[in-house]
Amino acid sequence: RKEVEQDPGPFNVPEGATVAFNCTYSNSASQSFFWYRQDCRKEPKLLMSVYSSGNEDGRFTAQLNRASQYISLLIRDSKLSDSATYLCVVHMDSNYQLIWGAGTKLIIKP
């Protein structure tokens, strides 16, 4: 089982719709969680950190479920500019490493 798994997609979603995708992680000792966004042929950039209590940033909401070992990202009122690959990242203090998922590709259609 991969350490961090994501549905690769692509998710084809009409503009204005709400879309959600999950990421599962295998190591229960994981301590920090992030969503990064990567546009085509560009570098990854931090979208948001994921806190235990869940957090929201505008149209984006991130949730953490430690019991089931997954994190989720919800995008409301999707825009064409949201088209990108969304990378789930998990971190453990014990080994200083960030473990990256392969990403979920999102395509917003007009």
Partner 1 sequence: DTAVSQTPKYLVTQMGNDKSIKCEQNLGHDTMYWYKQDSKKFLKIMFSYNNKELIINETVPNRFSPKSPDKAHLNLHINSLELGDSAVYFCASSQDLGGRTEAFFGQGTRLTVV
Please report, as ranges, the residues that interact with partner 1 according to CB under 8 A: 32, 34, 41-46, 85, 87, 91, 93, 95-98, 100, 102-103
Give me the least distance between CB of 77 and partner 1, in Å please: 25
In 3D, which of 75, 71, 28, 26 has the Cα closest to residue 50?
71
User: CA-CA-CA-CA torsion for 8, 102, 42, 31, nearest 10 degrees?
Assistant: 120
Judged by beta carbon, residue 11 or residue 34, the one nearer partner 1 is 34
User: CA-CA-CA-CA torsion for 61, 2, 30, 7, nearest 10 degrees?
Assistant: 0
Judged by beta carbon, residue 18 or residue 97, the one nearer partner 1 is 97
User: Tell me, what DSSP letter sits at residue 67?
Assistant: T
Give me the least distance between CB of 67 and partner 1, in Å please: 22
Judged by beta carbon, residue 70 or residue 100, the one nearer partner 1 is 100
